[in-house]
Amino acid sequence: MKVAVSEALNIAIDAQKNGRISDAERIYLDILLNFPSHPDALHNLGILVLSKGDEQKARNYLSRSIAANPKVKQFWLSYLNLLIDSGNLGKAKEVFSQAEYIGITNDPFVNIRRALGLSGNEMQPTYVTALDSGSLSTKEVAAKVKVHRDTLLRWLRNGSIPEPKRDHRGWRKFSYAELAAIIKFTQIGSSKTDVAIDSGPKQTAKWISL
């Protein structure tokens, strides 16, 4: 069956979200067979193999996604988080410097912070405490993420999202940081790319076989 690459990507993303990891991986690899520099396929496959514990492959795919489209912040964040979590702080600093050099780390308030002489860390302890506090129920998180409660529970069972802490009654209590991570999970692969794919015989194909 031949499908458009954009449709194949959406099928893979849906499979990944719903725990059909093998299906998602196969489709991402099919896309990359025809489009070796497809940024979203590279990034999403990197996240997928990392969830399987293959850190080396994840580093390869995530770094290639940045090379394919360095304008997407999420690609840098995913790669930096991987490096930091694995304790490779030297490499993380190097990658962050590259991101900073091209301006990807800038935000709308950076000049205001500089003008006020603020480092951005003044409110951090209170902010982090608020983020880490568990106060959202499963129903509340599902409503904020705009998915059915059963969908959220399926993601938890599949291990697609981490299990939160439970209160003394055994009820799940999500922190705001966990809510942010779940929202990011629902947006996986949604970033748009605006760079040309490498030229070559395989790059001209608009369809792939699944």
Quick: pLDDT tens for 77-102: 999 999 998 998 999 999 988 888 88
Q: Which residues have CB under 8 Å from 41's CB, separation 6+?
A: 9, 12, 28, 31, 32, 35
How many helices (H) and strands (E) are present in the chain, helices listed first? 11, 5
pLDDT of the residue at 183: 80
| Residue spans per domain, the chain | 2-107+201-209, 130-186
The C-alpha angle with vertex 56 and arms to 179 and 59, in degrees rounded to 5, equals 55
Q: What does the pLDDT read at residue 188?
A: 59
State the fold for domain 2-107+201-209: 1.25.40
Q: Give the pLDDT of residue 201.
A: 37
Q: At 156, is the pLDDT very low, low, confident or very high (cuts 50, 70, 90)?
A: confident
CATH number of 130-186: 1.10.1660.10
For position 29, what pLDDT does the model report? 95
pLDDT of 154 over the 90 cut: no
Overall pTM surpassing 0.85 (yes/no) = no
| Closest by Cα among 210, 190, 191, 199 to 37 | 199
pLDDT tens figures, 18-28: 989 999 999 99
Between these two residues, 112 and 53, which has the higher pLDDT value?
Answer: 53
What is the rounded average pLDDT for all residues in the chain?
78
**Could you tell me the pLDDT band of residue 46, with boundaries at 50, 70 and 90?**
very high
Q: Which helix (H) or strand (E) holds 24?
A: helix 21-34
